Amino acid sequence: MEATVSINWKWDQEFFHFIGNIFKGIFHQLILILSLWYKRHFIKFGDLPLFRFLALGITLDMVKEPQLYLHMVVGANFNSVQASYNKHVNFYNDAG
């Protein structure tokens, strides 16, 4: 004798869809409430941290020492000392 078990799958599907719809409704309402609350308090949570980090960055940039150093050596080769000298003197005269 074989034992057969019949399961009503349609009832199970409807039951779990019902439970799922309850959770979807709860989370939908929760997100709706949080979004309305966030819209009212946007300045506290949106704009102020942005300005705080901007002010912090500017302050740190002003206080911190520069990290880029430039050292330039101008050397003459092939007896072009006079040409190099005249070129740089003329450049600085024009700039000033």
Chain mean position to CA 13: 43
> How far is 17 from 23, CA to CA, in rounded Å?
10
- Greater model confidence, 34 or 25: 25
Query: Who has greater pLDDT, 73 or 28?
Result: 28
Q: Do residues 88 and 74 make contact, with C-beta atoms less than 8 angstroms apart?
A: yes
Contact predicate 38/45, CB 8 Å: yes
Mean pLDDT along residues 77-82: 61
Domain ranges of the chain: 11-95
**10 pLDDT higher than 70:** yes
